[in-house]
Amino acid sequence: MELRHATHPTQVPTFDTAALRENYLVDNLFAAGELRATYTHEDRIVLAGAVPTDSAIRMTSFDQLRTEIFFERREAGIVNVGGSGSVTVDGERHPMEKGSCLYVGRGAVEVDFASDAAGDPAAFYVFSAPAHASYPTTLTRAGEGTRRQLGSSETSNERTINQYIHADGVRSCQVVMGVTELQTGSMWNTMPAHTHDRRTECYLYFDVAPEHRVVHIMGEPTESRHLIVADREAVISPSWSLHCGFGTGSYSFVWAMAGENQAFDDMDHVQPSELR
Ligand SMILES: O=C[C@H](O)[C@@H](O)CC(=O)C(=O)O
Ligand SMILES: [Zn+2]
């Protein structure tokens, strides 16, 4: 498991492109047959990726967590961004087509990731945070959460926000999670942009064609920087950071947060004219 330290917003102007990527971009979570993870001290979030092929992959703990079992003091939201597969939690198998979201509560012991077909492997994205209580493991099929339509074609940001784990949906201690899909021809996510000083948020971009990229904007609103992001790469947004972007082609993304509260609308919006 890789380790990322928390950063101070005044460091951002001192970072060159490589340093921005080292601190905020997670570009190596998905590899065939492997379980990979990154730990960030921002709200102690763990991001992991599992791509099972011929055999299942079991979720393990990591030395840095000092626990026998990954879910001993943690919960997670899991979204499949690849081919159809399943996640089995302590003997109960949850079928997961692309875009489905499984909440796994504190105390789960055996969590196994499997693909339906090794030739079209599932790719499970795991977003985990510390948990003080145990909520039931709950599956939401793709598109069956709370759907919010935002944006318009005039501003190239017409999109559907699928909220899965949230205050009015699947319950959790900290994790709030969903998937945003852009309508054909819309390129911008999260504009007007926002920060939320009470939560860290990560975006995992997926369904980005190999020749395309997402230009992700980060940093304090009046001191913005950008990251060029490819398919299945994640960006860590500390609580002070903007998180918005546009694609050179179509894309979707998993957004997930952890921190002080779970109020989705607790955002400090920033209008385009206020950005620098
Ligand atoms: O705090 C909430 C998150 O940034 C996302 O839900 C925003 C998003 O998916 C979008 O506007 O497209
Ligand atoms: Zn946000």
Q: What is the pLDDT of residue 243?
A: 98
255 lines ligand 1 (CB under 6 A): yes
Q: What stretches of the chain show up as alpha helix (H) in DSSP?
A: 17-24
C-alpha separations of 234 from 48, 214, 220, 223 in Å: 10, 11, 19, 21
| pLDDT for residue 129 | 98
Return the residue whose CA atom lies nearest to atom 8 of ligand 1.
190
Q: Whose CA is nearest to atom 3 of ligand 1?
A: 255
Nearest alpha carbon to residue 102 among 132, 71, 72: 71
Ligand nearest to the CA of 256: 1
Query: Mean pLDDT throughout 138-159?
Result: 97
Q: What is the model's pLDDT at position 206?
A: 98
Measured from the CB, is residue 201 less than 6 Å from ligand 1? yes
Confidence of residue 152 (pLDDT cuts 50, 70, 90): very high
Question: What separation in angstroms does the CA of 22 have from each of 220, 236, 253?
Answer: 18, 11, 21
The arithmetic mean of pLDDT across residues 59-81, rounded, is 98
Q: Tell me what pLDDT residue 114 has.
A: 98
Domains of the chain: 2-271 (2.60.120.10)
4-19 b/e with 16+ CB inside 10 Å = b?
beebeeeebeebeeee
Q: What is the mean pLDDT of residues 90-105?
A: 98
Q: How far is CA 73 from the centre of its chain?
A: 20
Ligand 1 neighbour 189 (Cβ under 6 A): yes
Give me the pLDDT at residue 77, please.
99
pLDDT > 70: percent of the chain: 100
Q: State the DSSP string of 121-143.
A: ---EEEEEEE-SS-PPPEEE-TT
Enter the ipTM. Answer: 0.98
Instruction: Look at residue 38 in the predicted model and tell me its pLDDT.
Output: 98
List residues forming the annotated binding site for Zn(2+). 194, 196, 201, 243
pLDDT tens for 163-201 read 999 999 999 999 999 999 999 999 999 999 999 999 999
Please write the tens of the pLDDT for every residue from 44-69.
999 999 999 999 999 999 999 999 99
- Give the pLDDT score at 134: 98
* Binding-site sequence positions: 194, 196, 201, 243
pLDDT above 90 coverage of the chain, percent? 100
pLDDT band at residue 266 under the 50/70/90 scheme? very high
In sequence order, what are the residues at sequence separation of 6 or more whose Cβ sits closer than 8 angstroms to the Cβ of residue 185?
153, 156, 158
Q: So what's the pLDDT on residue 268?
A: 97
Mean pLDDT estimate for the chain: 98
| Global model pTM greater than 0.95 | yes
Mean pLDDT for the stretch of residues 220-230:
98
Q: What is the structure's pLDDT at 204? A: 99
* 167 vs 29: CA distance, rounded Å: 28
* Over residues 85-105, mean pLDDT: 98
pLDDT at 142: 97
Single out the residue of 160, 127, 254, 255 nearest to residue 201, CA to CA.
Answer: 255
Distances, alpha carbon 84 to alpha carbons 17, 81, 88, 141, 250, in Å: 36, 9, 14, 12, 21
Give residue 250's pLDDT.
Answer: 96
CA 88, CA 9: separation in Å to the nearest integer? 40
Burial of 75 (0-12, 13-18, 19+ CB in 10 A): buried
d(CA 157, CA 196): 20
Q: What share of the chain is helix, strand, coil (3-state, %, to 5)?
A: 10, 45, 45
